[in-house]
Every structure is written in structure tokens, then in C-alpha cells.
Homo-oligomer: A and B are copies of this chain.
């Protein structure tokens, strides 16, 4: 039987070699600008979770290391989707992230303390699996180690354990438990490991009675993962994903583009709905809800005008409008949903996306900014994202403003002629127009695959601006009213 320990001499020799190789890999990772490598460190409180991190800080270039540590959710975190704070925590490309009390900590503690049913626990583990799958698909490496101490060493009360604990850092994630409670956490952890060990991100159990053995084992793992990461192709493998079948319904074709509204009707209805909206957001129940409005549409379809008719009714203090543009250099190296996760609404507030994460399955698909496998899996990822929002009391309302090819041409020409609007028209707009039919296909697929119960698409005929403005306002009012009942 192996005793999972290492002599001082063996440690010295192995650590010197590993240290050099790890530094080299860290340097290469940074140079290659590859997605970050995350090391999740879980395990018994006495197994030395913090010590492991100190070892790597001693071995590696600490300027490119990021330690993230999560305690139970505080303040606003309690009222946001569970994964929100983890999305915000991802380290930049080319760097390493050490996670203590990662996304596993909260469900494990709640479950072990009896505050979470077995079913809910299982559900949360599945949410985590999808999150980790998304990260690995986006080029992030997820390593999960469980520091294990054998039955004797594990006892909280052993004086040796206490002594060692005193000597290191006062980090008790598991809290001050009785022996019985402690057993419950252990059982919960066992279940957690069973539920979340996947091929791409398995849990690796590290015998941790001997710190030297423990650190060398983790270093080997990390090194291997970094080297594999460096060798892997940057393009995600299409074979991981099911073969894609384009949508079967041409929703854009079934739009009634002739819908319109006379000026007087428009004025009356606009005023009416705007008054309704003002009332609705003042409803006491809205303080615990939030609203995310997603505006997508053909270039020149009138998104800005429709958005303004809505935001005019809202208190600017509780509103943010984000014009989504091409991602910055830094944003391009992150999973594409990251910048949107950072901008989701807090309770009682409204966020408007003028264009959105749907760019993944529109411009990025059409222009080839991401691989086919990437945009094909995005439908599921986006549905999942919106579901998490909905579960956290956020209403998600999505609009596609549709105009015909002829109307777009007329508006482009009018923009060109107008000193007020010519800045809004770019070369890119003309280029996009060339690809009209390719875009139609992408839009139809999007409407088919992401039209969900929790976040339905509203396709709005926008050939007549007045009609589109009143329609979007009306839908916002109706949805809000229903939700606040």
C-alpha cells in the first residue's frame, strides 16, 4: 500500500524540476494568450488548502496568479443569479486562477447543513456542470482537486491537526463543526464528487497527509494540464457538438410588414402606454424584480427610437442602457458571455441591451468570428443564461425589429443625405447588407432555437416606426403587469 508521502530529499529534487517546468509553461501560456487555467482547491479544512496556494505563489511568477476565494454570498450577491459572482471572477487569458471555496462551496455547505434538499442540490450540481462545460468550450481549463486526509488525520479534534492548524492560516471554510456535522459534510462532498466528475473536468483526489507529497502531486497535475492546453488547437473541436440542423420555420417571412399606425393613434397610444409603464415600475413588487430588455434588429430598423420611448418613462437612477459593440481586445480573450454577465440588472433596476449576446449567433456566425461549433452551442448556452436570470427574478423581454430589404435601402439613403444621421451609417452597414440572405438564415435559426418560455422573442414589424414603438412599449407593459400580479 502506498503511503502517499515523500522524503525531504525526494521533494527537493522533484520540486526543483517541477518548478522550472511550471515557470516555463506559465511563460508560454502567457505568450500564447490562451484561456486561463483554473485550479479549484477543495477538501478538508486541515488538509492545507491555503498552503497549496502559498506553494504555487513561491514557485510561479505571482504577478500572473489570481486567487479567488468565496465565502457564503453577501449583500447583493444573495439577490443575483447564483453564478453571477463566479462569472465576474474569471481571471484574464494567459493566467492562472486558484479558487478556494469555489462555486461548489455554497451548495455543499447548504446541503450538509440541511438547508438544501437532495433534489435542489442535484439541480445546482447540474447548473455547475453546464457552467464548467461552457468554460471549457470557451478555452478555459478547469482542474478540480479534493485534498483528502485519511481517517485518522481527518479528525478535527486531533491535537496534531489543531497544532498544524494553528501554525498555518486561520482558514476554516467548513466552520466549527461537531464530529457529526463533519461527517455530514464529508458525505455531501462524496455525493458532489460523484455528480460532477466529468471527462473534461474530473475531481482528482489528492492524499494530503504529507504536504510535500500533496504539493508535488498537484504540481504534476497542473503542469500536465498546462502542457496539454498549450498543445491543443485554439479552435474548439466541432466534433464535441451534435450535428446542427438549421431551423425549419421562416419567421421573418411571416411578419406582416404592412402594419402601421396613424399619427393621431400613435400619439394617444404612446401616451397611454408610457403612463402605464411609469406606474408599473413604481409598483412596490418591482423592487424585488428586475427587467432586462434585449433589442436586436436589422440595421436601421429603429432600435434606438424604440428604446428611447421606453427609457423616457424610467428613472435614470435605476436604468442602464448598454450599446453593445465589437468586444475590446481584452473582452475578446474572455468567454463571450462574460461582459454581459457583468451587466445584468440588480433588483429594482432596468437594463437595456441595444444589441446583445445574440451577436454570437448573428454577426459572429455570419462573419466567421467564431467557429461553427461555437455558435451552434451558443443557443443552449444563451437559453441557460436567460433561465438563470429568470430564476433570479429578472424578466427578460427580447425584441427583433424587422424591416424589409427595400425599406432598409431607403433608410440608408436617407441617412446618407441627413447631416443628423450620417454618422450612424458606416461602410460596415453596407457590407452587412450584401449578406442579407445569410443574415436571414441566422436570424430565423436564432428565433427558432432561443424562443423559450422564460424569455420569448417578440418579432416586431418595424417598417412603420410608430407601429414598432407602440408595440414594444405595449409588450413591456403587458409582460410587467402580468409578472407583478
Across the interface, which residues of B come within 8 angstroms of A19, CB to CB? 420
Across the interface, which residues of B come within 8 angstroms of A65, CB to CB? 321
Q: Given the known inter-chain contacts A54-B312, A419-B20, please indicate yes or no for A278 contacting B169, CB distance below 8 A.
A: yes
Across the interface, which residues of B come within 8 angstroms of A321, CB to CB? 57, 62, 65, 67
Q: Given the known inter-chain contacts A307-B62, A311-B57, A317-B69, please indicate yes or no for A423 contacting B27, CB distance below 8 A.
A: yes
| Band of interface residues on A | 35 or more
Decide: A325 and B278 in contact? CB cutoff 8 A.
no
Decide: B423 and A316 in contact? CB cutoff 8 A.
no
Number of copies: 2
The 9 A-B pairs of least Cβ separation, nearest first, read A63-B323, A69-B317, A27-B423, A171-B315, A75-B75, A20-B419, A67-B316, A54-B312, A69-B316
Across the interface, which residues of B come within 8 angstroms of A24, CB to CB? 419, 423
Decide: B308 and A169 in contact? CB cutoff 8 A.
no
A43-83 toward B: CB 8 Å interface, digit per residue (1/0)?
00000001001100110011111010111000110000000
Q: Which residue of chain B has its CB nearest to the CB of A51?
A: B312
Q: Given the known inter-chain contacts A75-B75, A75-B76, A330-B330, please indicate yes or no for A63 contacting B325, CB distance below 8 A.
A: yes
Across the interface, which residues of B come within 8 angstroms of A282, CB to CB? 170
In the assembled complex, A382 has its CB within 8 A of some CB on chain B: no
Closest Cβ–Cβ distance, residue A279 to chain B (whole Å): 9
Closest Cβ–Cβ distance, residue A66 to chain B (whole Å): 9
In the assembled complex, A380 has its CB within 8 A of some CB on chain B: no
A to B CB contacts below 8 Å, 7 in the list: A19-B420, A24-B419, A50-B316, A54-B308, A67-B319, A67-B321, A70-B317
Across the interface, which residues of B come within 8 angstroms of A316, CB to CB? 50, 53, 67, 69, 98, 100, 169, 171
In the assembled complex, A329 has its CB within 8 A of some CB on chain B: yes
User: A residues 287-319 with Cβ under 8 Å of B?
Assistant: 304, 307-308, 311-319
Q: What CA separation (Å) do A71 and B323 show in the bound complex?
A: 24
Q: What CA separation (Å) do A352 and B62 show in the bound complex?
A: 12
Q: What CA separation (Å) do A65 and B67 show in the bound complex?
A: 35
Q: Which residue of chain B has its CB nearest to the CB of A92?
A: B328
User: A residues 318-360 with Cβ under 8 Å of B?
Assistant: 318-321, 323, 325, 328-330, 354
Decide: B314 and A169 in contact? CB cutoff 8 A.
yes
Q: What CA separation (Å) do A171 and B53 show in the bound complex?
A: 49
Decide: A101 and B58 in contact? CB cutoff 8 A.
no
Decide: A423 and B61 in contact? CB cutoff 8 A.
yes
In the assembled complex, A23 has its CB within 8 A of some CB on chain B: yes
Across the interface, which residues of B come within 8 angstroms of A57, CB to CB? 308, 311, 321
Q: Which residue of chain B has its CB nearest to the CB of A69?
A: B317
In the assembled complex, A130 has its CB within 8 A of some CB on chain B: no
Q: What CA separation (Å) do A199 and B252 show in the bound complex?
A: 57
User: A residues 16-56 with Cβ under 8 Å of B?
Assistant: 16, 19-20, 23-24, 26-27, 50, 53-54
